[in-house]
Structures are given as C-alpha cells and as structure tokens.
Structure 1
Amino acid sequence: MNISFKNIASAAAVAILGTTAAAEELRIGTASLGGAFYPMGQSISNLVNEYAGNDITMVPIVTGGSVQNPNLIATGEVEIAITNNNLAVLATKGVGPYSAAGAIDIGAVAALHPSVLHMVVLADSDIQTFDDLRGKRVAVGPAGGGTLGFVNFLFPLHDMTVDDITPSFVSYSDGFSQLTDGTVDAALALSGFPSGAVMQAAAGNDLRFISFSEGMLDTAIEANGAYVAVEVPADVYDTTDAGMLIGVNNMLVAPNSLDAATVQAVTAAIFDNLDELKAENANARQIDPEMSRNLAIPLHAGAQAYFDAN
C-alpha cells in the first residue's frame, strides 16, 4: 500500500479536527528546521485549523526556504508559502532564481516578521568581519534557502565568491551544531529572531556576531532597496554586544488562482487572532498589520477583501 506524507497529514487533520474528508487542505511552504519560517508556518496552521472553518485545514511543510517556496507554488506542491519581499517581486517577474519557471502569478496575503542574516561564530573566534570568512568553513543553510541568496549578494560586494569559502549546505539546526562542534568556523542563517537553531547553540556556548567592515552595511542596503539594517539586541542570544545585521521583510504569498474566499478566511484567521499568534510565536510579535497594506507585490483578492473590511 502506498501511503504518502500528504495522506498521513490529511488523516491526522481529519482525526484531530473532526472535519470531513472533503475539507480543503492547504500546504504552507516554510523552510528548514531550526529557522523561524517552520514554527511560523506551524503557528499559522494552528490558527487556520482552529478559526478558518471546518472546510479548510492547513499543514506546515519543510522546504528549502524562501527562494524555493515560490517555485513550489508554481508547481502546485504547496498552496501557500512564506518568502521575502525581494524574492516575491523576482518571482512575479520571472527573473533571477525564477527565470526557468517564468513569471509566477502570486499575490501577497500578509506581511510577516523580518528575517535577519545571522552571521555567528564562537566568541573566541578570530573571525571578526564578513571579509574574514575568506578561506573558512561556513554553514550557509540549505541550497534552496534564502541564506544562500544573501551570500551570493554579499560576496561580490566584498570581492569574494562562494568559491572563497568551504560551504556546508545543511539545515540551520545542523549548521549551528556544526559550529559548536568545530566542523565549521562560522554559521549563517537568514531567520527571524530569536532563531531556534541559534538559541540551541547559545544554550551551551558563548557566541558572537560577525560584523560588517566600516561602511559595508550601508553599501549593501544602497545596492538593494529591499534590504534593511536590523539590530539584534545582545540579550536575545546572550552575546556581549548587539548585532547590527542585514535583513529583509517577509510575507505570506498564495497563487492568485487560489479561491478568494479561502484566502480571506486564512487572512481572517491570522489577523483576527493576532494576539494568540503573538503569544504562541515570538517572531509574530514583530508583525504589524498595517504593513500588509503596503507590500512589494499586490495583495491577493482574498486578502484585499479582508483588509478592505477591517
């Protein structure tokens, strides 16, 4: 007998929620374990399953992350997904990592938390700035994730390429485990904060943020207006100093072909119960509903209907 993951997830959702087999199941594309996208997707799924009505269920799916997720929507492997503002624009234009798929017809559902590029070493490391990564072993996240997109953007600004490091393409959890056991010299992770992978590493180790050389953060932000400077306070990971890092805002996206009433119900489940989401998910405390009215791509018709009414 062939039993797929989707069938198991559907059966579990039916058993838990008491819904019928006719319920519409939405798969939400997140990212690798250890980052912020998967727990965010899990928390959103919990709200949808509780409040969107018995005819809609949602399950979080582990994926390569923000770069891969629009492609998964295009191929029908997920019905809704988390990505960042910059990548959403590229996807709708069919350029960059989406040139093979062509323009992907997606709309924005909601603004979510920002992601920051965690650039982390053990506190006693001789790596001080991004330039010092040259010749080092670096965990850069999964091959389809947003971390590598940032790496490919930042390295040329530093007259470097990925060939100048020894990259380790692993999940954030595995990457920070490699950092603490000495397999890599540095670990990078594009994630909201606090990140589970970084928290786990910080539990038994003293960590430090890698800095940008003077003026390089400003140069990077000027090179791409979608990116922003984000300060991560020292008490987030018990580092000696705060980290001034580069980041990007994230959004929930769905194909414009997805039924508007379904998307409106999902949007309502999130924002009508935002306090509950914030109580369950630390990253959700950074969500500002007003940001959903001014995103880098147009709102999906269902999300537009929700925000027009609220």
Structure 2
Amino acid sequence: MSAASSVFRTLVKKPLFVAITIILFGFSGVLYAQDTPIFRIGTGATIGNYFPIGGIIASSISKPVGSRDCDKGGSCGVDGLLSVSVSTEGSVANVLGIADGTLEGGFAQADVVYWALRGEHVFRTRGAIGNLRSVANLYPEAMHLVVSFHSGIRTLEDLADKKLSIGPAGSGTNAGAQLVLETRNIRVPKENMLTLSNSEAYEAILTGEIDAFFVIAGTPARLVSALTDQHKVSLLSLSQTDVDVLHDIYPFFSGGTIDVGTYNTVPDTLALMVPAQFLVREDMDEKLIYGITKALWHETTARNLEKGHTLGRFITLDTALDGLIMPLHPGAERFYREIGLIGDHVIKKEEPEDEISEETTEETTALEPTVTEESEQEPASVE
C-alpha cells in the first residue's frame, strides 16, 4: 500500500479531519474566484476543539458556485459562500480579529467576550470593543484544574505554595485562572506562576517542574485525556462555595460536573463552566448572517457536528441563546424570530457598569497580562 493510500485511509476514519480537508482542498478551485465571498471563522490551535468544530461549521455553511443543491445531497449552506476555519491563538485573538476586520466571525469564551465588552482585564489597554454581535451560543467549556498525583493539592487554597501554570498570556484560560485566584484570594508568588502553552504544561507536569495547571476546554480535552491515561494526574474538584462565590461576581461562570468516565480514573468533578459563543462583526451584511444562522441550525449541520466531533452533540438550537453576552446580530435575530425562538425580548447590550469591588479590580490590574499582536509561544490547544 502506498503512503498516500495509507494517509487517505487514516483520514477517512476521522470525520473531523475530512471536514477540514473538504474546506481546504475540496473548494480549492474557487478559492481565488473574485465573486466568491470568503467568510473566515477564527477558531484556535489545530490540536484544540475550536478548529475542528469551526471546520465542520465552515463546511456546513458554505455553498460555493457550482455546488450541488441541498436536496440532491449537496451543501445546505449559503449560496455562493465559501467559509474557512482559521487557526488562531484562541478567544482573545478571535475577538480582536473580528473587531479589526481580519476575521468575519469566530469563537470565544463568554468570559473573554464579557471583558471585551467592558474594556477590562486583558482588554484594558485596548479599551471596550462594542462592534461584536452574537450568532449563537455553542457548547459549555469546563475549567480543568489538572494536579499531579504527588502534589498534595486538595483545595484551591493549597495552590498558594505550589508551582503552577495559568495558561499563555492573553488566552481565555489565563484570564479565567486569574479570576479564580483573585476571587478566592489565593496569592501565588510571581516566580511560581507560569504562563506555559498546553504542550509546555504537559511536559512540565510530567517532569515535576509544575504541580498543577489550568486549561479551559470542552470535555474530554485531549491534553487531559493523555495525562490521565498515563495515571500521572487527576482533576481538582471545586467546592460549592468556590462556584457560588465566582458566579455571584462573574455571571458568565456556572457550576457543572465533569462526569466520572470522562477521564480515566477521575471521579465526578465539580468545575466552573463557561460557554463558547459564535460572534461576528456588527457591520456584517444582515442577509448574509441570516443565511449563516439558518445554515448553522440546518439538520444536515447537526448531523455533521454529531458525527464529526465529540462536542457536536452539545451544539443545539435549544441552547442557542443561552448566556449570550453581546446582543444578537440583526440577521441572526431575524432567523430566531422567524422560527419563534424569541419574541419581543431580545438580548440587549450590557452597559459596562462597574460591578466589581475595588479590591478585586486592584488585584486584577496587578496580575493583568499584556496582549501582544504576535505571540512567540506555541498556540494554546484550548480556546
């Protein structure tokens, strides 16, 4: 068997890679067609969840010129549209890319969207970003606190004298981890708090360089699965008090359970959950976003997502409007009104009032990472 045949046989066993291949190669004949609009979806690293899910969605909403009709087995996307999944550094990069026009749409954690709207935390230097609009809520992501078996970490308070990674500067994981530490008043010495990429954290916890690391991802996260399969780590379960305090201050956080069996040898684990959301820029054409929203919720897209990725089953119309931070784009709103999902009530833009205590704000400023245009680190494998 030739090497090419071997590669092909490997790919056809993995639907999510097939979806990506369709986008990158199946539409190659029209990539340079002047009349074909290209809709770029900012996702995350290729080894994370955002990128393959973005690939499936991009394929599902695309319908380049010359495609077969939907009822004849062709794409059920937007006529004449080509969409591509773009690998990025994750939520923060996607928000900035959409706002600045280098992306048409993208995925972002709700906490990152919250800070963008308010111009706080990782967006304090940039200022409030108000030209984002929502298309849909996608699926819940869990904040995993991965701890070494030999670390002796049993509670969040135990992190104070340990060495840990809070994720790359500017990432959604980094911002979320800082909020947890600040809100629970856990002060980790600066020299003990690292900002490693996921691959670096993986190596560091195996070698004993760190005792724990944070990672926000849909479950199961491949990075965590790889470590638990080696019986090297476990997950720290939060207390209900931890969850309640954080939710009261930051409404985008909620409590949820990472069920037993999700990871090898890991029991039911109480974790913070934060939704992943699909955003576009405010000035995008209403008719286009209406068509994209309609295609996103077409039954063929649902089948593609369920078959193509383990998280696809969580992307449902029933939860499409849950927890949205930014108001709906008019095109998306029109679709949801037509199907009766919303009536007179629509999501209003939140006024950036200061709901955070002075003490918490001061701590956030002190720990705030800088957001650079280009990161020298390997892209985070989560978003």
Normalising by structure 1, what TM-score?
0.86
Post-superposition offset of 1:175 = 2.3
Distance 1:205 1:43, change over 3 A: farther
Q: Which residue of 2 aligns with 1:80?
A: 105
Secondary structure, counterpart of 2:335 in structure 1: helix
Rg larger in 1 or in 2?
Answer: 2
1:142 aligned to 2:168?
yes
Question: 2-side partners of 1:108 and 1:167: how far apart?
Answer: 34
CA contact (8 A) 1:264 1:303 kept: yes
1:286 aligned to 2:311?
no
Q: Which residue of 2 aligns with 1:28?
A: 41
Secondary structure, counterpart of 2:262 in structure 1: helix
Question: 2-side partners of 1:10 and 1:104: how far apart?
Answer: 31
Distance 1:16 1:94, change over 3 A: same
Post-superposition offset of 1:301 = 1.3
Question: 2-side partners of 1:26 and 1:222: how far apart?
Answer: 37
Secondary structure, counterpart of 2:174 in structure 1: helix
1:15 aligned to 2:34?
no
Post-superposition offset of 1:126 = 1.5
CA contact (8 A) 1:47 1:277 kept: no
Q: Which residue of 2 aligns with 1:254?
A: 280
Q: Which residue of 1 aligns with 2:336?
A: 307
Q: Which residue of 2 aligns with 1:60?
A: 85
Secondary structure, counterpart of 2:196 in structure 1: coil
CA contact (8 A) 1:70 1:81 kept: yes
Secondary structure, counterpart of 2:254 in structure 1: strand
Question: 2-side partners of 1:260 and 1:205: how far apart?
Answer: 51
Distance 1:122 1:46, change over 3 A: farther
Normalising by structure 2, what TM-score?
0.71
CA contact (8 A) 2:99 2:129 kept: no
Post-superposition offset of 1:304 = 1.4
Question: 2-side partners of 1:55 and 1:163: how far apart?
Answer: 55
Post-superposition offset of 1:114 = 0.8
What is the RMSD computed on CA atoms of the aligned residues?
2.7
Aligned AA (1:297)? M
Secondary structure, counterpart of 1:102 in structure 2: coil
Aligned AA (1:72)? G
Task: Figure out how many residues of one structure are paired with residues of the other and give that number.
Answer: 302
Question: 2-side partners of 1:70 and 1:162: how far apart?
Answer: 29
Question: 2-side partners of 1:89 and 1:157: how far apart?
Answer: 17
Distance 1:152 1:54, change over 3 A: same
Q: Which residue of 2 aligns with 1:3?
A: none
Q: Which residue of 2 aligns with 1:209?
A: 235
CA contact (8 A) 1:168 1:175 kept: no
Question: 1-side partners of 2:32 and 2:263: how far apart?
Answer: 41
Q: What's the CA shift string for 1:114-141, capped at 9, x where partnerless?
A: 1111111233432222222223332322
Out of 203-212 and 14-23, give the one that drifted further: 14-23
Aligned AA (1:291)? T
1:296 aligned to 2:325?
yes
Of the candidates 279, 282, 303, which is equivalent to residue 275 of structure 1?
303
Question: 2-side partners of 1:34 and 1:197: how far apart?
Answer: 9
Post-superposition offset of 1:231 = 0.3
Q: Percent identity?
A: 22
Out of 52-61 and 220-229, give the one that drifted further: 52-61
Secondary structure, counterpart of 2:170 in structure 1: coil
Question: 2-side partners of 1:46 and 1:11: how far apart?
Answer: 10
Structure 1: 5+ residue stretches without partners: 1-8
Question: 2-side partners of 1:262 and 1:162: how far apart?
Answer: 48
CA contact (8 A) 1:23 1:54 kept: no
Q: Which residue of 2 aligns with 1:46?
A: 59
Name the one with the larger strand percent.
1
Post-superposition offset of 1:187 = 2.1
Aligned AA (2:117)? T
